Amino acid sequence: MAKKKPLILVSNDDGITSRGIKTLVEVMCELGDVIVVAPDSPQSGMGHAITVGNTLRLDRSTIFEGLDAYECSGTPADCVKLAKHYVLKDNSPDLVVSGINHGSNSSISVLYSGTMSAAIEGAIEGFPAIGFSLCDYSLQADFSHTKEYVKKITQQVLEFGLPKDIALNVNIPAKSSEKIKGIKICRQAHAKWQEVFDQRKDPNGRRYFWMAGNFVNHDKGEDTDEWALANNYVSIVPCMYDLTAHHALSTLNQWNI
């Protein structure tokens, strides 16, 4: 008897027409049966936003020939929710994958990332989940070298599973003349964005702001995602949605309240 193929749900935040999701779908089709539910337009930086007080639209898409695919007007988290409760109904996926994001989602960026929020929403729903990102913001970014690592990591998760409530944040260095050295299991680096708000005026003379800034890494550890990427390794950080600062509970319990 042939072994049943795993059911894999694919989403992203760059939109259903992006090159990254095309690459991800190609790899996932080698590993299982694929269903795509992705935003109908770019949703980068949306974090774990969900649509409340507004309509959500979900339409079939023919962009992936031969696949069951849908485009959604909502956020990446909306896409996973709609996939579970409407598209798949009682047929739960064996894996949720998101990406491949066009740009890094290492360190603090995981909080802002729509790509990782789709993966974390999968973990919230009880499914093994992975978010993949390519650390290249160029319009001509080459995704071809990511396939090897996406496939290898996905195969490991399908075979061995993941701890409960965990989603993997996988970042892959940009393609270069130097071969990627390997894969590192890492912790999230202590780093942040230092924002700069450029004040400008529109053609009507009204003030607006354009946000820019620099990424600053305060972490000198050699076990972080930033160190791994800087040294040409693929980084994997296990992430959880429980944001409780457990180490602070004993301190707060001393308050006279």
Distance CA 207, CA 184 (A): 46
Distance CA 232, CA 238 (A): 19
Distance CA 237, CA 188 (A): 6
Residue ranges of the annotated binding site are 13-14, 44, 101
Residue ranges of the annotated binding site for a divalent metal cation are 13-14, 44, 101
Spell out the SS3 assignment of the chain: CCCCCCEEEEECCCCCCCHHHHHHHHHHHCCCEEEEEEECCCCCCCCCCCCCCCCCCEEECCCCCCCEEEEECCCHHHHHHHHHHHHCCCCCCCEEEEEEEECCCCCCHHHHCHHHHHHHHHHHCCCCEEEEEEECCCCCCCCCCHHHHHHHHHHHHHHHCCCCCEEEEEEEECCCCCCCCCEEECECCCEEEEEEEEEEECCCCCEEEEEEEEEEECCCCCCEHHHHHHCCCEEEEEEECCCCCHHHHHHHCCCCC
Tokens representing 102 are: 């066009």
